[in-house]
Amino acid sequence: MRARREFRLREKWLIGAVLGATTALIVVVVISLASAGHSSANGCIDVTIPYAVGGVEYYRCGAAARAMCHDVGAPGGFSAASARAVSTECRKAGLPVGP
């Protein structure tokens, strides 16, 4: 029977580093999954509208959400791609769209 070989100090450090990095990655994934962002439901809307240089995230509830949904397609309101994004989120929240 062959005797079991002992790990060298360098191998022990390498195993510890790999286990530490794996543990840190698992913690990051669990935290990111547990801290979910906003969503459109129950009279609240969450919509991100992209622009050429950046974008804007809107999260509105109640009267502010109804006003935002009312502005879809109205003069001076949301139009084109942003109107489609806002109207989709308004429908998810159960709010009427447009004037």
Band (81; pLDDT cuts 50, 70, 90):
confident
Q: What is the pLDDT of residues 29-40, one digit of tens each?
A: 988 888 777 777
* CA separation for the pair 68, 52 (Å, rounded): 22
Instruction: Answer yes or no: is pLDDT of 98 > 80.
Output: no
Of 23, 16, 57, 18, nearest to 40 (Cα)?
57
Of 93, 83, 82, 87, nearest to 40 (Cα)?
93
Per-residue tokens: 49: 């509208």
Of 77, 42, 48, 51, nearest to 97 (Cα)?
77
Give the chain's radius of gyration (CA, Å).
25
Instruction: Answer yes or no: is pLDDT of 19 > 90.
Output: yes
Q: Amino acid letter at 1? A: M
Global pTM exceeds 0.75? no
Residues 81/99, Cβ–Cβ less than 8 Å: no
Instruction: Answer yes or no: is pLDDT of 7 > 90.
Output: no
